[in-house]
Amino acid sequence: MNTLHLTTEIKDIAKAANIIREGGLVAFPTETVYGLGADAMNAEAVAAVYEAKGRPSDNPMIVHIARASDIGQLTPMLSSDIVAIIENFWPGPLTIVVKKKPEVPDRTTGGLDTVAVRMPDSKPALDLINLSGTPIAAPSANLSGSPSPTRAKDVIADLDGRIDAVISGDDCRVGIESTVLDLTSEVPTILRPGIITAESIEAALGKEVIYDPSLKEAARHVALDPAGGVQESDFQPKSPGMKYKHYAPKADMLVVEGQRDKVKAEIERLKGLNEKLGNRVGVILFEEKAFIEAAHDFFARLRDLDHEEVDLILAGALSDTDGVGFAVMNRMLKSAGYNIVRVS
Ligand code: TXA
Ligand code: MG
């Protein structure tokens, strides 16, 4: 397939919108990561997204809308929590899981009776949804399992020739995917951590918000088992997307956790040792507490290191239990396949 390369100019977005309306696939920038979009109400188009990504088809997609009021097309009941979320966080990097209307195809929601919805904070994304005249289902625009794409070139590297068009815009401002918040359970529950944290959602809703226990479990097991080796299959996460091998670079990857000076020293030691044996080693070590920058850079760093064909990536863990650093650690641990050592 010949992939059409488009800009964010409105005449190009109009071409892309035509493709979406006809059931085709278009990659486009959002403020979090690039998405691979299809008409969310067209089951065949959505099936083609799974195909292009090589993604298991029980993994549900996020449906993107351009006006908050369009959520009424997708869900039958607007609770006061939903309204408060929309008022406080949309457009923005927060996805909500709500009860779905029968019109939303099972293909889009992976057969669940709920649907994930978000209004992105990105002009090209909003233009595309508006001109398409339909909600757009979009997972991240990468091959399943590889790091999420935060730059147009990352999308092209994975999907050129597999999709109808790619809209090349700016690098993504946030760099990790949206926070996914389940509003269908008694207590609002974060299924995927992101740049919008439990604390800020609690402030907006005026009530307790929890992290899905499996998210904390993952971190806790790793902390308990200094040898690492925790398998994702040990957890029973509620968000189906959390159970697959995810974000993995081609290189082997090890996360080093502990007090910062010791982490630095251990990374230097392991780097020297490996280089002596002829391995190429890449290091990911963010400034302490620079969580926003870490979120912005993490996936791009993984992809750049793969491009440099390193054999091993050594990454310093971020110490944060519930903020943006926690969201980055969620990705870092998955990328490394929960391969972690602790220095103390
Ligand atoms: O920032 C983002 O959210 C990006 C951009 C493109 O908007 N999209 C994205 O999509 O990350 P994806 O498909 O890579 O991740 C969707 C996540 C998965 O973890 C999936 O399991 C979860 O949302 N999800 C979707 N629908 C759900 C539902 N009905 N119930 C529970 N989890 C759901
Ligand atoms: Mg993804």
How does pLDDT run across 239-250, given as a tens digit for each residue?
544 444 578 899
Q: If you ran DSSP here, which 8-state letter would residue 73 be given?
A: G
Q: What's the whole-number mean pLDDT along residues 4-18?
A: 98
Atom from ligand 1 closest to the CA of residue 192: 19
pLDDT at 237 over 60: no
Q: What is the pLDDT of residues 265-297, one digit of tens each?
A: 999 999 999 999 999 999 999 999 999 999 999
Q: Span 290-308, mean pLDDT?
A: 97
Mean pLDDT within 167-196? 97
Ligand 1 atom with least separation from CA of 118: 7
More confident residue, 77 or 223: 77
Positive/negative CA dihedral, 303, 333, 144, 245: positive
Q: Mean of the pLDDT values across residues 61-83?
A: 96
- Relative to beta strand 281-284, strand 252-258 is unpaired
Question: Closest Cα to atom 15, ligand 1: which residue?
Answer: 139
CATH number of the structural domain 4-215: 3.90.870.10
Second-level CATH architecture of 252-343: 3-Layer(aba) Sandwich (3.40)
- Residue 135: pLDDT band with limits 50, 70, 90: very high
| pLDDT over 90 (residue 209) | yes
- Give me the percent of the chain exceeding a pLDDT of 90: 84
Averaged over 127-142, what is the pLDDT?
Answer: 98
Residue 228, pLDDT > 50, answer no
Ligand lying nearest the CA atom of residue 247: 2
- 57-76: average pLDDT: 93
pLDDT at res. 26? 98
- Mean per-residue pLDDT over the chain, rounded: 92
pLDDT greater than 60 at residue 342 = yes
| Residue 55 pLDDT grade (very low, low, confident, very high; cuts 50, 70, 90) | confident
DSSP states of 158-203: HHTTTSSEEE--PPPSS-SPPEEEE-SSSS-EEEE--SS-HHHHHH
What DSSP line would sit under 201-224, residue for residue?
HHHHHTS--EE-HHHHHHHHHHHH
| Better pLDDT: 88 or 321 | 88
Question: 0.85 cut: is pTM over it?
Answer: yes
Lining ligand 1 with CB less than 6 A are: 30, 32-33, 35, 59-62, 95, 97, 109, 112, 114-116, 120, 138-140, 177-178, 180, 191-192, 239-242
Contact 166, 159 (CB under 8 A): yes
Q: What residue segments make up the domains of the chain, in order of their start? A: 4-215, 252-343
The residue whose CB lies within 8 Å of the most ligand 1 atoms, and thus the one to mutate among 89, 101, 140, 243, is 140
Residues 193-198, mean pLDDT to the nearest whole number: 98
